[in-house]
Structure 1
Amino acid sequence: MTQTRNVNQTFLRKPGVELRSTWQSTQAYKRHSHAQLSIGAILEGQTCCTCNGEPFILHPGDLIVIPADAPHSCNPIAGQPRSYHMLWIETDLQPTLQVIRSPALFSKYLSAVETLSASAIEHLLSALTDRPAPADTLRPTSLALQDALRHSLLAPPSLDALAQRFSLRKETLIRTFKQDTGLTPGTFLAISRIEFAKARLRAGDDIADVGYQSGFADQSHFHKTFVSYTAATPRQYATGRSISDNK
């Protein structure tokens, strides 16, 4: 199997938008989520995208729209390589989960990723939806648990302590959180650490420092976890280019 560091992939960034382009990769992802709207495009091969527990088989020319915070994974089929773009957009517009098979929209997507210009991104979003973001449906305990984990990456409180704080049984706390978010608290903590690490890497922090800042005990654990959730090494992600918007 090709090692992750040898996979041909790039990251390009502008304020509010990030593009990942990956070519001929067989690397798989763990289930994860993003705070941003995600829009993926399959360029070559096939992939199976599972979102909110529902699998979708995607082919070249397909787009998949994944709402913010929706747990998902996009993995190769039968170990065969595939090539794809993944676009993350910070926006108040939140289209519903959908697979789109439209040559016109696919062409509009390719135009957007070619420049990442604000106008091209706006045109793409307007073609997808004009509905506002859905209201928050998480229960208060799940929101509080998310907040507690996000703000305690170095030394998160134990589930026993959190359950006591919320006057719940630990099993009830875990079950409620998974019903609301589709993730266990442990998985949510790992994703939060990786998302924090990505932010620090984008800011130019040293990789060795980022692992510690994110709450990982050692570099090996940081590297392994980062790869398992992103199918990219920390160094690959850190060397992604930020490009200015002159459009």
Structure 2
Amino acid sequence: MTTARDIQQTFTRHPGLELRSTWQSTQPYKRHSHAQLSIGAILAGQTRCICHGQEYLLSPGDIIVIPAGAPHSCNPVQGQARSYHMLYLDSELPLAQQHIRSESLFGLYLAVVEKMTTSSVNALLAALTLRVGAGDMLRPTSQQVQQALLSDPVYPPSLDELAQRFSLRKETLIRTFKQDTGLTPGSFLNVSRVEYAKARLRAGDDIADVAYQSGFADQSHFHKTFVSYTAATPRQYARGRSISDNN
């Protein structure tokens, strides 16, 4: 099995848009979520994607729509290599998860990959809006737990404190949160820390500083957690190219 350091992959960035392109990878990763709308396209091999408890087997030409905040994993099938693109979009569109096989939509997707322009993104989103429905909302308690954890991911409130705040048994709070989000509060916190770390790495912060800023005990813990949720090392991610770069 390939390791994260061995994978041929690139990260290309534009304001409000990030493209991850990965080739011939057998690297798995943990269930996680993103603050952005995520849209994946399979180029070669197969991927087993599980999103909010629903399983999809993706093949070349397939597109998967993953709503912002939806827990998911997209891992290789029986250790076989696969190649794919993932687009992460800052979009307010409330699109529901969907597995799509459409030659025309796949063509629009590849146009975004090639051009990375606002017009190509808008064309893809317009086509998806016609095809994909809206997602479900979280219950108020789960929304408030998310907000509490995101308010201070470095020193978050404990589960006991949250349970007392919402007048719930700790077990009930965990069960409700997982039913709504697909993640335990602990996993959600790890995902939030990794997403914050990605933002700081994109901004050019030093990796050692990012580990501390994100709330990890040390750089080793940060590296291990980052790889387990992204299938990329922090250094690989930090080296991603901005479309506005001149070099």
The bucket for the TM-score relative to the shorter chain is: over 0.9
Give the 4+ runs in structure 1 shifted more than 4 A.
130-136
2:84 partner amino acid? Y
Please give the alpha-carbon distance, in whole angstroms, between the structure 2 residues aligned to 1:39 and 1:76.
Answer: 17
What is the match of residue 168 of structure 1?
168
Mapping for residues 116-135 of structure 1, pairs under 5 Å: 116-130=116-130, 134=134
Corresponding pairs, count:
245
What is the match of residue 219 of structure 1?
219
Whether 2:116 is the aligned partner of 1:112: answer no
Cα deviation digits, residues 165-218 of structure 1 (max 9, x gap): 111111111111111111100000000000000000011000000001000001
Listed as ranges, the gaps of 5+ residues in structure 2 are none
What is the match of residue 18 of structure 2?
18
Relative to the length of structure 1, the TM-score reads: 0.95
1:167/1:97 Cα in 2 relative to 1: closer, same or farther (>3 Å)? Answer: same
Whether 2:52 is the aligned partner of 1:52: answer yes
What is the match of residue 141 of structure 1?
141
What is the match of residue 208 of structure 1?
208
* RMSD over equivalenced CA pairs, Å: 1.7
Deviation at 1:92, TM superposition (A): 1.7
Mapping for residues 183-202 of structure 1, pairs under 5 Å: 183-202=183-202
Please give the alpha-carbon distance, in whole angstroms, between the structure 2 residues aligned to 1:244 and 1:176.
Answer: 43
User: What percent of counterpart residues are identical?
Assistant: 71
Please give the alpha-carbon distance, in whole angstroms, between the structure 2 residues aligned to 1:165 and 1:95.
Answer: 32
Listed as ranges, the gaps of 5+ residues in structure 1 are none
Please give the alpha-carbon distance, in whole angstroms, between the structure 1 residues aligned to 2:96 and 2:160.
Answer: 35
Deviation at 1:11, TM superposition (A): 0.2
2:57 partner amino acid? I
8 Å CA contact retained: 2:94, 2:135: no
Please give the alpha-carbon distance, in whole angstroms, between the structure 2 residues aligned to 1:132 and 1:166.
Answer: 35
Moved more, 65-74 or 89-98: 89-98
1:136/1:54 Cα in 2 relative to 1: closer, same or farther (>3 Å)? Answer: closer
Please give the alpha-carbon distance, in whole angstroms, between the structure 1 residues aligned to 2:244 and 2:171.
Answer: 48
* Other structure's SS at 1:183 match: coil
What is the match of residue 79 of structure 1?
79
